[in-house]
Every structure is written in structure tokens, then in C-alpha cells.
Amino acid sequence: MKPRISDGNDTRETRRLATLLEVSQALSGTLNLKSALHRVLEILAKRHGALRSMVTLLGEDGELAVEAADGLPEPQSVRYRIGEGITGKVVESGKPVAVPRVSREPDFLHRAARRAELSREELSFVCVPILLSRKAVGALGVDLRFKPERDFDSSVKFMGVVASMVAQAVKIQRAVEDERRRLLAENTHLRQELRERYDFSNIIGTSGPVREMYEQVAQVAKTNTTVLIRGESGTGKELIAHAIHYNSLRAKKPFVKVSCAALPESLIESELFGYEKGAFTGAHARKKGRFEMAEGGTLFLDEIGDINLATQVKLLRVLQEREFERLGATDTVKVNVRLIAATNQDMEKTIAEGKFREDLFYRLNVFTIFVPPVRDRKPDLLLLADHFVEKFSREHGKIIKRISTPAIDMLMAYHWPGNVRELENALERAVLVCEGQVIHGHHLPPSLQTAEASGTVTRMSMADSVAGYEKDLIQDALKTTRGNRAKAARLLDTTERVFNYKVRKYAIDAHRFRT
Ligand SMILES: Nc1ncnc2c1ncn2[C@@H]1O[C@H](COP(=O)(O)OP(=O)(O)OP(=O)(O)O)[C@@H](O)[C@H]1O
Ligand SMILES: [Mg+2]
């Protein structure tokens, strides 16, 4: 027998392959799912004799809604519940259905097109599920002209291929949508974080001295008074300066910071006041100073105690007259800027040494806020510690539930010369090296492990370190079991006898943990 070059079946297969190629191009051509699906349905109409067709997808409400339709008068109003009508059944079962004669099918709802009205000719209906990870997320349904000789098996297979291509497009669209939602959430989170950072309420602490400080901030924020913030290094002066600005009427205007100590003497004036073109070699164009940049807002002069005497004179004038000249300029610039200054120096001493002008100090010292050192606000220490543990756990993606009792004792015993900044650094380090859910004493920096700090050991020998760790573990277990020694022993996988021996050895008061 001679091989047949072409017969009815072959031309049908070729036509179908061409259709699939077009379908795949339509789906990959755009990220807009709706318009891509429209194209697909048009192709099915043109190439495959689909009289009407639609793609339904499951919505979040658990109902099927039309995502795209061709040849239907009012597709947007068509909805099916799962199991309802042929479409609903296909999605429920995940299996395709072919209805050779629609007029004889009682399940056929005629919802989509009031088909009976549209045509009096007999129709066939093929509906295939759109499957993602073997779960139906929708259906593709087409109306075909009824032909007694039609091979429905082959039609269903072909539509199944189209549906699987549609499923891929749905999958990509959902991934894109998820990514967009994730970015949106991240953005909201970042904005929230920004608000928190400058909001008053993110200043942790409820101790007496801190409450006093809050009151002062609240008092002075809404005024235009110059504020001097004094306090040791790392106590949170910058945080207070932010809080004042963002709680003032100038909150929407710029907050400009100048780190006086970080700028070389020769640069500070041009930084503050700006310069005209040609004011000095290298001044190629006019430049605005920080005072002008802060127009309408707040200028924060950090470490004001470090500025040189010549600049002090100029600053005094700005404070008195609210005007200055750019370097190399003759005309005067008027500014509306609120000044906040901060220093950790003993200003009285600096003045006595002749390094700071007394008159400028009085101008700055209109309203002074003292930020207390950590050692004077011990009650806040745990709040701050918890706050930082939570913050850094979140940042480093760890789940740390608490700080162990001995570690807390160590935190409390230490004198914190570097104040909140030192505490913040210590706890970031602890979070980083912590391998479990609890911060232990040995996670804290060496400066806290000294005899002076912990009041326990003179030199860390191995035996002492192990003993310290063992004590930590025992106290932790007792805490978890609320002082129940038998349970605590089991928790540590040891016998009650050994456990009790160690409790006595380390002079641990188990009663302390009963609540
Ligand atoms: N009450 C507080 N609540 C939460 N975080 C705080 C608090 N006080 C300070 N911090 C944090 O401690 C760190 C040091 O604070 P800040 O930079 O404001 O100190 P500073 O007084 O300006 O120090 P320096 O004089 O060294 O410049 C910052 O990361 C800040 O967020
Ligand atoms: Mg600072």
C-alpha cells in the first residue's frame, strides 16, 4: 500500500498544530492575561469553528467567573458555583466533559448565552478543566456546531492541550501578581518603619527620667524655640532631635543634619552657609548651604561643642538675626529655620577653657533637654533589650523568644558607658551568635563577662565557662517548668538526682521560679 500523503485526519492535525502555535504565541505575547485569553478564544473561533467560547476562573469567593469570552452577549454577569452546570462539574471533578447534543442535556444551564435564543441549530459543548498542580482552577468551554460524525475524544484532547497552555499563563500571571503584592506589602512595611523611626512612640522607655524627657519634647516641639539636647554619647540625642522635628509644625519640611565633628574646620562654613561661584578655588558654581536647604524646617547641629570659634561667631549672628551671607556673596540671605543642637561635651568646662563662646551657648541654651544615661534609667534596660532583640531577630530572620535570667542579670550589672548604642550593638551581636531561641550569658560581649560586670568570676577558665553555661541551662529549665525540678531534669535529659546536685552546687534558688 502506498503511503498516503494527506487525508482528512492529517489536514485536521496540521490545522490543530498551527492553532496551538498561534495560541502559544498569543499567551506569551503579553502579561495581560485577559487580553491574551481573548486572543486565544478568537483563534479558536477562527481556526477551530468555535461558535462561542469562554474561560472561567475560580475567584477568591470560590465561584467561577468569566475571565474571557468570545461570542457571548453579557459574559460579565455569568457565574457558576463549583458543581453547578457542566462548567461547575468540570471544575469540581477536574475531568473534561463533552456534550454532543446540548438540547438533550438536562445539566446544561444555558446561562452563558441563552443559547436557545441565539440559534436554533443543534450545538455540541466541550468543556475542559484548567489545571494547576493537578487542581482545577477554572475551565475552558466551547460551543461547536453539531456534527454527527465528530470525534469528541480528539476534540477533548485538543482542548485539553489549549487549556494546559492557558494554565501556564494563569500560573505566570499569579506569580507576577504575588510578586506585586509582596512588593506592595514590603513598601507599606518600609513606610510604616519610616514613620515609626521618627515617631515619638518608638523612643523606648517608661522610667521617671525618660518620662520627664518626653514631657519636655512635647512641650517644646510645637514652638520655634532653639533646643539644646545634652547627654552622653549613645543616649539617643539624635532620636530626640527627630522626635522634636516630626512632632513640630515643621514636620513636612526638611530635617537637615550637620555633623559638626565630622567636617573639617575649613569646610564647615561653606557647608552651613553655602558659597557663591568663585568664592574660592574650586567653587565652580553657587552652592546652597544647609541653612538654606533646611528652609521652613529644622537644622540639627550635632556635636555643636566641636565647632571652631570663627564659625561660632557666624552662628551667633544667624541665631540673633536669622540672616547670613553665603561665602563670597554680598547680599544677605534670610532664613526661617528652627535650630536644634546636640552635644555630649561638658559645655561649662569647654566655655571655661575658652573653646566655646559663652554668648553663643546662652543663645543655644534657651531650652535644654537632658537625655539620661542608661545607668540612671535601669528600669528601661529590659524594655530596651527586648526591643532590640525583637528588632534584630526580625532583621536577621531569627526566632528568639527571650533573654535568659543570668543574661538579664549581666545586662543589669553592667554600667553601659556607651549607653543605648552600646546596648544595641551588644544585642545585635547576641542575636547573631545565638543558635537557639534564648539569649544566654555567653552570647553577650566579653566586656559584660568580666568579674566587675557579672560579679561572679575573676578569670574565665574553661571550667568556669562550662559551669556558667550549665547554670544558665538549669535556670532556664527551671523557668520553663516554673520551678518544677523533676520536669526540668527531664527537659535537660538528666536524672533528678544529678539535677538536684547541680542546683545545690550552683546555689540556685528553685523557689524563685515558682509563679
Ligand atoms: N530610647 C531609645 N529607644 C530606642 N532606641 C534608642 C533609644 N535611645 C537611643 N536609641 C538608639 O541608640 C542608638 C544611639 O542613639 P543616638 O544616635 O540618637 O545617640 P546620640 O546621643 O546621638 O549619640 P552620640 O552622642 O554618640 O552621637 C540609635 O541607634 C538609637 O536608635
Ligand atoms: Mg548623635
- The number of the ligand nearest the C-alpha atom of 236 reads 1
Q: Which carries the bigger pLDDT value, residue 3 or residue 162?
A: 162
Residue 99 burial (CB count, 10 A) = 20
Type of residue found at 114: R
Looking at residue 113, its pLDDT comes to: 57
Report d(CA 486, CA 334) in Å as an integer: 76
129 touches ligand 1 (CB under 6 Å): no
d(CA 255, CA 197): 14
Mean pLDDT of 460-479: 83
Say if ligand 1 is within 6 A of residue 85 CB.
no
Cβ–ligand 1 distance for 344 under 6 Å, the answer yes
- Say if residue 356's pLDDT is above 90: yes
pLDDT for 6 beyond 80: no
What integer best gives the mean pLDDT of the chain? 86
152 C-alpha to ligand 2 centroid (Å)? 78
The SS3 call for residue 484 is: coil
**Structure confidence at residue 457 as a pLDDT band (50, 70, 90):** very low
The percentage of the chain sitting over the pLDDT mark of 90, rounded to a whole number, equals 45
| Ligand 1 and 239: CB distance under 6 A | yes
| Spatial strand order in the sheet of 50-58 | 79-81, 63-70, 50-58, 135-145, 123-132, 97-99
List, for residues 125-142, the tens digit of each pLDDT value.
999 999 999 899 999 999
| Ligand 1 center–CA 81 separation, angstroms | 58
For atom 9 of ligand 1, which residue has the closest CA? Answer: 236
Look at ligand 1, atom 10, and give the residue with the nearest C-alpha: 236
| Cα-to-centroid distance, 78 and ligand 1 (Å) | 60
Alpha carbon of 429 to ligand 1 centroid (Å): 17
Q: Please say if the pLDDT value at position 9 is more than 70.
A: no
Q: Whose CA is nearest to atom 23 of ligand 1?
A: 234
What is the whole-number distance in angstroms between the Cα of residue 236 and the centre of ligand 1? 3
Can you tell me the distance from the alpha carbon of 271 to that of 327, in angstroms, rounded to the nearest whole number?
10
The predicted structure's pLDDT at residue 512: 81
Which of 68-77, 94-103, 268-277 has the least mean pLDDT?
Answer: 68-77
| CA 503/CA 386 separation, integer angstroms | 28
Of the candidates 100, 52, 108, the residue with the CA atom closest to the CA atom of residue 84: 108
Residue identifier of the C-alpha nearest atom 24 of ligand 1: 233
- pLDDT of residue 93 exceeding 70, the answer is yes
pLDDT score, position 55: 95
Across the range 47-58, mean pLDDT stands at 91
Contact between 368 and 230 under an 8 Å Cβ cutoff? The reply is yes
- Which ligand sits nearest to residue 239's alpha carbon? 1
Coil vs helix vs strand at 192: helix
Whether pLDDT at 3 is above 50:
no
Ligand 1 pocket, 420 CB below 6 A? yes
CA of 343 to the centre of ligand 2 (A): 8
Residue 490 confidence (pLDDT) above 60: yes
What pLDDT digit, counting tens, does each position of 383-392 carry? 899 999 999 9
Answer yes or no: is the C-beta of 372 below 6 A from any ligand 1 atom.
no
Neighbouring CB atoms inside 10 A of 128's CB total 27
pTM over 0.85: no
From 230, 235, 346, 423, the mutation candidate for ligand 1 (largest count of ligand atoms within 8 A of CB) is: 235
Please, which pLDDT band fits residue 453 given cuts at 50, 70 and 90? very low
292 lines ligand 1 (CB under 6 A): no
Cβ atoms < 10 Å from Cβ of 327: 17
| Listed residue (80, 81, 52) closest to 68, CA to CA | 52
What is the rounded distance in angstroms from the CA atom of residue 480 to the CA atom of residue 101?
71
For residue 424, give the ligand 1 atom closest to its CA: 12
- Alpha-carbon torsion angle 387, 389, 390, 391, nearest 10: 80
Q: What integer is the mean pLDDT of 416-426? A: 94
Ligand 1 atom nearest to CA at 343? 25
* 203 Cβ inside 6 Å of ligand 1: yes
Our answer on whether the CB atom of 421 is closer than 6 Å to any ligand 1 atom is yes
Summarised one tens digit per residue, pLDDT across range 227-277 is: 999 999 999 999 999 999 988 999 888 999 999 888 887 788 888 998 888
Q: Please give the pLDDT value at position 7.
A: 53
Query: Closest ligand 1 atom, CA of 204?
Result: 3
Residue appearing with cell numbers 436554533: 120
Cell numbers that stand for 315 in this block: 552662628
Query: Is any ligand 1 atom within 6 A of the Cβ of residue 237?
Result: yes
